[in-house]
Each structure stands twice: as structure tokens, then as C-alpha cells.
Structure 1
């Protein structure tokens, strides 16, 4: 069997998920990966056969989406050319983790596909949304990567086609400890504003991961780290809690390990607003903006008792069996022995 897997490379979560799925997918046949996007910070842990600049998100220094920067880095003509060049009819199964180019290619070439990932969960009206619905954001979630079938991943099972998040095997097998520090990953927010707040809390040790850092170093109560998967995983495994955006993969893994989470959704990012709404239902601390009171909010969160709900880890073998058993218009088979 030939499998085409499209990965949206805006951020690191989609790439991390693909890395965890790859060993399981290989049991079904040959897997060719297409990476679409250009602003992730981790290396690929799988072979990439096709690449495109795709449609990537870019962020302002104040913690919001930069729509002008997104527009400047987007070429519709090139995306249509890339879609036409993908030989999807050669494949038995097309798996799309929220990539526009693959969705476009499937439509123009008459090829079926399944959208598999977190964004697919928003095809359900039962998946949490914020109190104020963003019509443009809702339209993007519903239509950006259209498919014949949807298999979603989320914190909880809000609908029958939604499964638990995929957690790295090293976290599932790890000895989880609490060494008291706070892990920080907020690349879309202004460094100077965060530093001013962290410096007001000398009793809290921060492990701060930043794309511009090349080598780890420590100043006072802050240890600075490069965006490195191994270093980040170790910090997360041993932390008391994490301050991060309202994405999906990192909060999911922190909640699986029963770590405290303080989530700061990126402004004007509707999916993150939806995730924040879901996390608030679970008892997670959500801070809507970083201001002069952020240090006070961190201190209160750090000292408060653990009340949030943990999440289960995805049984990848069972989820992929469901995907291949229900895949539209393709002959599927069980994993090879």
C-alpha cells in the first residue's frame, strides 16, 4: 500500500504528531511525507519526499497573528502549481493534517482523503468554542483542508469521530517528577515584556525556550534554552508547570503528565481561542493577555492547588486501524506481520 501523508508545518505540533505516527504507519505500507509550511523550529523525524512553502502563520511581537506578514509570504499561484504537481493518484490513501495544498490537489485530481488531526475535531458542533464566535475563523477551520472524512484529536471526546491526543512515547514511558521549575514556550510574545514579569518572581525558576538562543545559559532565576526537542521534553517531564500558548500538542502532553498549565492564547487566533475555552472547562488557568499584572497571575497560579483535569493518551494502533478500516474508496489492509 502507498500512503501519502501531508503535514502542516506552521509551528511544531503537526510535525511532532507525524513523527509519532510514522512507525505505526509503516506497518501498513510505504509512506511518503509532504511538508507544507516554513516556520517550524524542530527537525523532521521522518523522510520528506515533497515540500512546499505552503500557507504559514506569522506572528507579531505582541502575541497576535500578523496578517500582513502572512499575506507577504503567501503565493496563491505557487500553491496551485504545487497542488497540480502532487501525484496523488499514485497513492492508495491520502492523510491530510490540515494542509490546504493537499486538499486543493485532492479536489482538482478527484482523489479521496481523510483529514486527520486536531483541526478535524472542529467539524463537530460539540467541540468547545469561545463565547464570541469568529465567523472567519470558523470558516477557515471548516473549509481550509476539506476532505471526504474527518478523524479528530482533542482533549476530550466531544464527538464519536474524536480521539485522545497523541502523546510522545517517551512521556508515556517516562518517570514523571516535579523539580519545581516552570517551563516557558511563548515564541509569539514579546521577550522584553515577559522578562520584566519573570524577573519580579525570584522565588520561581523558569526554563525559557526561545528560537534565538543557541546555547543554554542562566541569569538569576531564568535559564535560557534553544528550541530543542530533547531539552524541552526533559524540562517538561521534570517541571511543576508550563506557561505556553493555547495550542494543542504541548498542553495535551503537559495535561497527560498532570502538569499545571497556564495557557496564553495567541490574539486573533481562533483555533487557540477554542482550545482555551476547552481548557477552561477542564480547570486550566487561561490568561488572555500579557500585561503588568502577569507576574501576579503567575505567582497565584504557581501557588494554587492542582485542580485541572488530566487527559488520556491516544492508542495509536487502534486509531489508525479505525482510519484504515473506514477510509473512503480505498482498498485497505491490516498491518504486515
Structure 2
């Protein structure tokens, strides 16, 4: 069996999901090719496991100061280039197209009549996770942006019949010096890629008794007062996630899921104007699994730092069952697949 796997690369969570699912696909003897879109190719990092992947421009959103910039986003859209990419992508050699909310592969499969499966957080937004408001237009928007014959949404609870647990990587492999890391003093992990770094650093300095590790778009690590600023790293970041005392981040689904399973308390700042992050925030607050902030205030930060640790939110690993289901031609209803997965024993992610 041969699959084309399209991955929306606007956020690292989509890529993390692909990393988690790929070993299970290989265990089923499935050959997988990848296409990534939504982020400049030069900004993709640690991509070795995806082999000779393809890239397309796709669609993305512009951000500044923690907000989606709608006008700039519209101006940078390239619909003619998008449809050119769709028409030029030949998917006839594949048995199935799997899309993580990636529109080029999704539309190529639809127009060429190839079986397609959508697997992404965004497909869960077709359900009233945050109440009934906006569900109708969201269902239409999600289904049109990246259409698929079967749509599998992911969520932290079995709230609706066709929702699956999140796909997350297993415990990270040790890296050089990892034994020494076990004896480092307590710290808070910070990842706020949509915010201004200088504003984040000034905010964290207001609590000098705590040490913060801030992952940001920098070329090399450096220290500043009670902060260590680090470049993104697929190898080191998961180790810091395991060992930190809490996580401060935007409310993207992937990192919040990893923090929940690792038992880390969360302080989240949703990206303003991004509907998925608004839904994620609503759900996390309703589950009492996070605190929210909108401004960089000392009161909110210090109050959260004083809160107790969280217990792990254990979830089953859906990857093996999804891979088998794909190999068997998606022959059972998605609701039955989801029910079987939720009945599994919880996985041991990050434990």
C-alpha cells in the first residue's frame, strides 16, 4: 500500500502528529510519501525522518503581536498558485491520500477521485466542542479547506462519536548530557512563537526567583538574567518538557496535549483571531487543565507559578489502530474505530 501524506506545516503540532503516526504506518508495511505546505521550506527543521518530501506554498496566516493579521493574510494569499499546485500534483499512483488539514493534497485527491482521509484537530471543530455557536459555518469551512472522504478529528475526551485521542510521540531518546539534566534546578518551559520576544523576556524577568527556558527563533542559546533562550530543537525540547515544572504557551493543540499527558500545569495565551486556539482554550478551561492570560502582567504570572502541579491526563495511543484501519481500506465506520481506541489502555507517553 502506498500513501501520500499531506501535512499542514503552519504549526509544529501537525508535524508532530506525522512523526507519531509514521512508525505505525511503516509497521503495517505502508509506503509513505510526504508533502508539506503552509510554511516557507527554509523554516522547516529536523525533517530527516520524512525523506525526500515535497513542498508546496499552500495557505497560511500572518501574525504580529499575538494576533492574526487578517488584512495581511488576505493580501498574501496566492489562489492561482494554489490551484496550479493542485492541478500539477498527480496522486493516481497512490492507494490513499492522508491529509492533516493540508489543502493541496486534499483537493488533488478529491478532483482525481482518490480515496482520502483527513486526520487533524481542525476536523473536530465540526462538532460543538465550545457550544453550538459557529458550528454550521465552521463545518462548511473545515470541509471546504481540506476535504476528505473520511474526517477524523482529535480531542482530549471522547465527547463525540468520531473523535480520536491525540497522536503524540513516545518518550524522546536520550541526547548527550541528558543524565546531567536530571539534576538541574526547577524551571518553566516557555514557547510563545506568535509573541514579541522582547515583551516575553521583560515579562518573565518580573519573577526573578524562577528560571525560565524560552524557546524562540534564535540561532544559538544564550542566557539573560533568570532566562535561558534556546533555538527550537526536536531532540532537546521534549526532554525539557518532561523535566519542567510547568508550560507557558499559546493554545495550539499539539503542545497542550503533550503537556497534559506529561502532567504539566499550563498557562496559555490563545492566538487572537485563530478559531482553533479559541476552541482549545475553551475546552482546557472547562476541563480545569489550564489557566488563561491575555496580557503580560506580573499578577497573572506570579499567581500561576504558585499553583500546584497537575497530574498526568492519560490517553490511549491511537496510532497503531489508525494505521491498521488505513491498511484495511477504512472498512469500518469512523465511530466504531474511535470507540475501540478509547477503550484501549492509556499509553505511557513521557513517563
Place the TM-score, normalised by the shorter chain, in its bin.
Answer: 0.7 to 0.9
1:52 to 52, 56, 63: 56
Aligned residues: 323
When residues 120 and 138 of structure 1 are mapped into structure 2, their CA distance, relative to the original with a 3 A threshold, is: closer
When normalised by structure 2's length, the TM-score is 0.84
Tell whether the 8 Å contact from 2:172 to 2:239 is kept in structure 1 after alignment: no
Ranges in structure 1 where 5+ consecutive residues have no aligned partner: 330-337
Match in the other structure for 1:237: 242
Structure 2: distance between partners of 1:89 and 1:328:
21
When residues 33 and 5 of structure 1 are mapped into structure 2, their CA distance, relative to the original with a 3 A threshold, is: same
SS at match of 1:111: coil
Per the TM alignment, residue 124 of structure 1 is displaced from its structure 2 partner at its CA by: 2.8
1:272 to 273, 277, 290: 277
When residues 158 and 113 of structure 1 are mapped into structure 2, their CA distance, relative to the original with a 3 A threshold, is: same
2:190 is the alignment partner of 1:184: yes
Structure 2: distance between partners of 1:189 and 1:4:
34
Match in the other structure for 1:258: 263
Match in the other structure for 1:334: none
Ranges in structure 2 where 5+ consecutive residues have no aligned partner: 333-351
Structure 1: distance between partners of 2:233 and 2:307:
30
Match in the other structure for 2:251: 246
Tell whether the 8 Å contact from 1:134 to 1:270 is kept in structure 2 after alignment: no
Match in the other structure for 2:345: none
Per the TM alignment, residue 171 of structure 1 is displaced from its structure 2 partner at its CA by: 5.1
Per the TM alignment, residue 304 of structure 1 is displaced from its structure 2 partner at its CA by: 1.2
Deviates more, 1:216-225 or 1:131-140: 131-140
When residues 187 and 41 of structure 1 are mapped into structure 2, their CA distance, relative to the original with a 3 A threshold, is: farther
Match in the other structure for 2:215: 209
Structure 1: distance between partners of 2:25 and 2:170:
15
Tell whether the 8 Å contact from 1:118 to 1:154 is kept in structure 2 after alignment: yes
Tell whether the 8 Å contact from 1:12 to 1:41 is kept in structure 2 after alignment: no
Match in the other structure for 1:332: none
Structure 1: distance between partners of 2:263 and 2:207:
23
When residues 108 and 131 of structure 1 are mapped into structure 2, their CA distance, relative to the original with a 3 A threshold, is: closer
When residues 158 and 28 of structure 1 are mapped into structure 2, their CA distance, relative to the original with a 3 A threshold, is: farther
- Output the aligned Cα RMSD: 2.7
Match in the other structure for 2:206: 200
Match in the other structure for 2:73: 70
Tell whether the 8 Å contact from 1:151 to 1:323 is kept in structure 2 after alignment: no
Give deviations 1:126-147, integer Å, cap 9, x for gaps: xx22686487656433431111
Tell whether the 8 Å contact from 1:283 to 1:309 is kept in structure 2 after alignment: no
Deviates more, 1:266-275 or 1:138-147: 138-147
When residues 130 and 284 of structure 1 are mapped into structure 2, their CA distance, relative to the original with a 3 A threshold, is: farther
Structure 2: distance between partners of 1:278 and 1:55:
26
When residues 136 and 290 of structure 1 are mapped into structure 2, their CA distance, relative to the original with a 3 A threshold, is: farther
Give deviations 1:241-286, integer Å, cap 9, x for gaps: 0000100111111111101111110000000000011111221233
When residues 319 and 30 of structure 1 are mapped into structure 2, their CA distance, relative to the original with a 3 A threshold, is: closer
Structure 1: distance between partners of 2:108 and 2:302:
49
Structure 2: distance between partners of 1:254 and 1:154:
14
When normalised by structure 1's length, the TM-score is 0.87
